[in-house]
Amino acid sequence: MRVVVQRSLHSKVIVDKKVTGSISEGLVLLVGFTHDDDIKDINYMVNKILNLRIFDDKEGVMNLSIKDTSKKILSISQFTLYADTKKGNRPSYTNAMKSDKASELYNVFNNELIKNGMNVQTGVFGAEMDVHINNDGPVTIILDSKVR
């Protein structure tokens, strides 16, 4: 499982000219799954994301996690995180989990964040999405559940 974490000032996702998810300050999560991902990967990632100390404290030091704030999460499915570009210039997506199983795990992931007290907005799994990310910092962190 891979997640690109971006600290955001304001972000939204639009599907068919309709906003499906929008946050002010918080985290944008671009979420992708590979074939052998399971609940252990989800639990690891949820714990890591909730405890990443990437928000400023009163002294301006990145010392607070999203749990320490009232900020929100915008979670967006992103199978292209598993693009393989080793051969040629056209990416292969064979390392991405099949859509039906990935959709199931994506829902479990978002529900785990919610169970942990997070306000989670989402895009639409498998849809063509217009994503607007106003990166704060910029702060961007790449997490991979297989690299611990």
Which residues are known to be catalytic?
78-80
**Residue 148: helix, strand or coil by DSSP?**
coil
**Residue 42: helix, strand or coil by DSSP?**
helix
Q: What is the 3-state secondary structure of 54-119?
A: CEECCCCCEEECHHHCCCEEEEEECHHHHCECCCCCCCECCCECCHHHHHHHHHHHHHHHHHCCCC
Cis peptide before 91 (omega within 30 of 0): no
Between CA 128 and CA 115 the distance in angstroms is 28
Amino acid code (one letter) for 61: V
Cβ burial of 83 (10 Å; 0-12, 13-18, 19+) is middle
